[in-house]
Amino acid sequence: MPHELSIIGIYFSPLLANFALGLTLALGTAFVLNYFRLSRIFIYPPLVFIALVVLYTCLLSKYVIPA
């Protein structure tokens, strides 16, 4: 289990990697929702985007890169 990630000798928390991947996945999901015009069913899409970032970050932290 990694406790920290080393990039060019600088140590980062695994939560940073989880957040970056979660943000990327949320951007992809938002793009797909906008492409198929499904984001119009949400009252406030920016809040849904933030919720997706949190959801993906938590899931990645639990199953992919444990923090």
pLDDT of residue 6: 86
pLDDT of residue 47: 98
- pLDDT(66) > 90: no
- pLDDT(1) > 70: no
DSSP annotation string for the chain:
--S-EEETTEEE-HHHHHHHHHHHHHHHHHHHHHHTT-GGGSS-HHHHHHHHHHHHHHHHHHHTS--
pLDDT tens digit sequence for 15-51 = 999 999 999 999 999 999 999 999 999 999 999 999 9
pLDDT of residue 2: 57
pLDDT of residue 52: 98
